[in-house]
Chain A
């Protein structure tokens, strides 16, 4: 047997070429990025976020930016528990809440405690880490799915308690005490004080959160490349084998919980101080699912993916709000229809199919409009722009809403059918579905942006798991069943 072959593996050497073939766009971007000199990377990643507030004086944009950093911090913390260690913690948001409420109780008129920032922040963070540790203890023996449900239950308990502990009757007290402010939460929190600075403005929180993100990122990178990070990942891969290799899995699981919780707790303090209030609704299921969407979208295991995920999921809803105009057309329309177009372009090959479908949709729209205009001349609006004119929208908004609601379910049903249909029938059904979707968008979805975002998040999660379970920047993972 020829010994020269050892160490030379052509198949392995051709990995790059294969990766290129699979996904040319992503490969190209990755290659270009890899070729940038270090300085270039640092400039792009560091300077742009840092200098943003100087060039963009818009408070709204800075607020969104600050939110992106906040969610990125939370996503990183969640990643420690779920991505690194493989513990499916569905109650993570409760730690965020513990931090928030902890800060609120120590910095407000609720009990008239006003601890200075340099005391309250570490105190609450450590306390939250402790809570994470406590939650980890009973769950050590639980398998994946059960762990998920128990932690979910804990998260719900937290919200429940915060909502109802505004009338806590303890024996010996003449009247019940208001612990958590109930559904109305706690308001008028002290702002943060660092040395002589008081944090009031959006810009200050933007930088504070960016700084936090940087610190947490560095800490996690360090942890990941250490014996602790390797041990965590070993537990995720095969907890039994890890234990057999001398890794104290129980201790490390608890550490993961504590670290994740601590990060969330710290973020909770910052959030509470920024919002100057906390409400139980801040820490409920929608935020949990949004966080998971970020982690999943970015790609479990990829730290930059988390940040990218946080960015996408925070920014997209903002862009979908009604009322923002760009070149005379609503921004939300551009984003939505543009997004649909992009999806169609990816999904429909060869090219002519794309144009055929689009043409058919536009044509059917015109036909429907003409027929409707002939039959019900008074009841169709002229429309404020190209798209609303093309669609057939009743003048009476109540009718529009009802029809929209009804058609919503039809659209969902059609899209479900689409996934199950043989190829021949797909395009005609797609045409109908797309037209109805446009109508539903215009009448219902665009009017309720917050709900629409949540709907899209749900759909995104399903599609992501189906087509790209590793997320945008993650690596495909191998798992033994």
Chain B
């Protein structure tokens, strides 16, 4: 405990890094739930696929130990290709697994989502085998580079992750608040039928939402790989659950809430590892989820909607 307290600043840094990743995943969950009322179980697996796509790109540009092109370009490439790829995958999922079920009973899209999730996991398992893959970040960004803030060391990699995540969140907020398409998204999430009657192309808006949400998840996957190094086919499941926990903590359907929830969860989990035990870190996340749902189901920033009987 004593040792942990002295490491607190470092743990905060680590927690924020993890939280940034969770926030990006939570955003996709929140957006889709806000618009469709659907819990996209496959979202976590999109995150996982993103990590693998990034891994593939990384291997193309860093086949051995030296990058073929400047490191910055490699990272930009990884992000761009992954985000585009996962965005397209997200759109495909929407078209195939969710759109036909818009008017089906609620359980149908949930089962469909489970099916997609399962499919993605096993597709990667089939083609990539169950071996853990290593993001050899050390050949891209030297682990010695970084900043010392007090007793904490903020490595360049972690700083990069936090900065990129923040930039993406700012971009998203701008998009949602200041553009017409963002306005359309907000309208559809409040009342789909009314928005349609006002001339909004609901299908296109939903497609865009999935694209953006999935792209963010993909970005999270790459960032995760860069910082934590190891990826494997099943990591999407746990990550998805944690992303959902974060989204619920902040208030599902609520974009700033998702960001806040993600950061909080990252901090809570990191502290739990330090205070309690690293073995039970996933358990902590679920316990938090249950507690939040029981005590304040609308989340920290969420709004409780009254129901007319």
- Chains A and B directly touch (beta carbon < 8 Å): yes
On whether the beta carbons of B114 and A153 are closer than 8 Å, the reply is: no
On whether the beta carbons of B118 and A454 are closer than 8 Å, the reply is: yes
| Chain B: CB-nearest residue to A406 | B127
- Contacts of B101 on A, CB cut-off 8 Å? 465-466, 469
- Contacts of B104 on A, CB cut-off 8 Å? 465, 469
Given the known A-B contacts A160-B283, A444-B126, are A461 and B293 also in contact in the complex, defined by CB atoms under 8 Å? Answer: no
On whether the beta carbons of B109 and A457 are closer than 8 Å, the reply is: no
On whether the beta carbons of B241 and A405 are closer than 8 Å, the reply is: no
On whether the beta carbons of B282 and A156 are closer than 8 Å, the reply is: yes
Q: Name A153's contact: one of B110, B126, B290 (CB within 8 Å).
A: B290
Bound CA–CA A401/B96 (angstroms): 28
- Contacts of A154 on B, CB cut-off 8 Å? 286, 290
On whether the beta carbons of A461 and B114 are closer than 8 Å, the reply is: yes
Given the known A-B contacts A452-B126, A455-B119, A458-B116, are A160 and B280 also in contact in the complex, defined by CB atoms under 8 Å? Answer: yes
Q: Name B92's contact: one of A161, A416, A481 (CB within 8 Å).
A: A416
- Asked whether any CB of chain B lies closer than 8 Å to the CB of A201, the reply is no
Q: Name A454's contact: one of B107, B122, B309 (CB within 8 Å).
A: B122
Residue tally, chain A, CB below 8 Å to B: 53
- Asked whether any CB of chain A lies closer than 8 Å to the CB of B306, the reply is no
Bound CA–CA A460/B110 (angstroms): 14
- Asked whether any CB of chain A lies closer than 8 Å to the CB of B65, the reply is no
- Contacts of B272 on A, CB cut-off 8 Å? none
On whether the beta carbons of A477 and B111 are closer than 8 Å, the reply is: no
On whether the beta carbons of A461 and B241 are closer than 8 Å, the reply is: no
On whether the beta carbons of B289 and A451 are closer than 8 Å, the reply is: no
- Contacts of A152 on B, CB cut-off 8 Å? 241
Q: Name B127's contact: one of A141, A160, A409 (CB within 8 Å).
A: A409
- Asked whether any CB of chain B lies closer than 8 Å to the CB of A59, the reply is no
- Asked whether any CB of chain A lies closer than 8 Å to the CB of B244, the reply is yes
Bound CA–CA A157/B237 (angstroms): 13
- Contacts of A296 on B, CB cut-off 8 Å? 111
| Chain B: CB-nearest residue to A83 | B107
From 448 to 481 in chain A, residues with beta carbon under 8 angstroms from any chain B beta carbon are 448, 451-452, 454-455, 457-462, 464-466, 469, 477, 479, 481
Residue tally, chain B, CB below 8 Å to A: 50
On whether the beta carbons of B286 and A157 are closer than 8 Å, the reply is: yes
On whether the beta carbons of A146 and B293 are closer than 8 Å, the reply is: yes
- Asked whether any CB of chain B lies closer than 8 Å to the CB of A148, the reply is yes
- Asked whether any CB of chain A lies closer than 8 Å to the CB of B117, the reply is yes
On whether the beta carbons of B39 and A462 are closer than 8 Å, the reply is: no
- One digit per residue, 1 when the CB lies within 8 angstroms of any chain B CB and 0 when it does not, for chain A 390-412 equals 00000000000000010011001
On whether the beta carbons of B127 and A458 are closer than 8 Å, the reply is: no
- Asked whether any CB of chain B lies closer than 8 Å to the CB of A289, the reply is yes
Bound CA–CA A145/B237 (angstroms): 17
On whether the beta carbons of A465 and B122 are closer than 8 Å, the reply is: no
- Asked whether any CB of chain B lies closer than 8 Å to the CB of A420, the reply is yes
| Chain A: CB-nearest residue to B128 | A405
From 31 to 57 in chain B, residues with beta carbon under 8 angstroms from any chain A beta carbon are 39
On whether the beta carbons of B293 and A466 are closer than 8 Å, the reply is: no
**A contact patch SS:** helix
Given the known A-B contacts A161-B283, A285-B237, are A462 and B116 also in contact in the complex, defined by CB atoms under 8 Å? Answer: yes
Q: Name B110's contact: one of A88, A164, A286, A420 (CB within 8 Å).
A: A88
- Asked whether any CB of chain B lies closer than 8 Å to the CB of A8, the reply is no
Q: Name A451's contact: one of B92, B100, B126 (CB within 8 Å).
A: B126
On whether the beta carbons of A408 and B112 are closer than 8 Å, the reply is: no
Minimum Cβ distance to chain B for residue A316 (Å):
15
Bound CA–CA A456/B163 (angstroms): 40
Bound CA–CA A455/B119 (angstroms): 5
Minimum Cβ distance to chain A for residue B74 (Å):
22
Given the known A-B contacts A145-B110, A451-B126, are A150 and B293 also in contact in the complex, defined by CB atoms under 8 Å? Answer: yes
On whether the beta carbons of B92 and A153 are closer than 8 Å, the reply is: no
- Contacts of B110 on A, CB cut-off 8 Å? 88, 145, 148
- Contacts of B123 on A, CB cut-off 8 Å? 408-409, 412, 455
On whether the beta carbons of B115 and A457 are closer than 8 Å, the reply is: yes
- One digit per residue, 1 when the CB lies within 8 angstroms of any chain B CB and 0 when it does not, for chain A 103-138 equals 000000000000000000000000000000000001
| Chain A: CB-nearest residue to B309 | A240
- Asked whether any CB of chain B lies closer than 8 Å to the CB of A340, the reply is no
- Asked whether any CB of chain B lies closer than 8 Å to the CB of A419, the reply is yes
| Chain B: CB-nearest residue to A479 | B105
Bound CA–CA A461/B121 (angstroms): 14
- One digit per residue, 1 when the CB lies within 8 angstroms of any chain A CB and 0 when it does not, for chain B 8-40 equals 000000000000000000000000000000010
- Contacts of B114 on A, CB cut-off 8 Å? 289, 292, 458, 461
- Asked whether any CB of chain A lies closer than 8 Å to the CB of B97, the reply is yes
- Contacts of B120 on A, CB cut-off 8 Å? 458
A161, A420, A465 interface centre (most CB from chain B within 10 Å): A465
- Contacts of A409 on B, CB cut-off 8 Å? 123, 127
On whether the beta carbons of B297 and A146 are closer than 8 Å, the reply is: yes
Q: Which 6 A-B pairs have the closest CB atoms?
A: A461-B115, A458-B119, A458-B118, A153-B286, A405-B127, A462-B115
Give 26 pairs: A residue, B residue, CB < 8 Å, sorted on A. A88-B107, A144-B106, A146-B297, A149-B244, A150-B293, A153-B245, A153-B286, A153-B289, A161-B283, A240-B309, A292-B111, A292-B114, A405-B126, A405-B127, A416-B95, A419-B95, A448-B126, A458-B117, A462-B119, A465-B97, A465-B111, A466-B100, A469-B101, A469-B104, A477-B105, A479-B106
Interface residues of B (CB under 8 A from A): 39, 92, 95-97, 100-101, 103-112, 114-123, 125-128, 237-238, 241, 244-245, 248, 279-280, 282-283, 285-287, 289-290, 293-294, 297, 309
Interface residues of A (CB under 8 A from B): 88, 138, 141-142, 144-146, 148-150, 152-154, 156-157, 160-161, 164, 240, 285-286, 289, 292, 296, 300, 405, 408-409, 412-413, 416, 419-420, 444-445, 448, 451-452, 454-455, 457-462, 464-466, 469, 477, 479, 481
Inter-chain pairs besides A454-B122, A462-B119, 15 sampled, C-beta below 8 Å: A152-B241, A153-B286, A157-B287, A161-B283, A164-B279, A285-B237, A289-B115, A300-B107, A405-B127, A445-B126, A451-B122, A457-B115, A458-B119, A464-B111, A466-B101
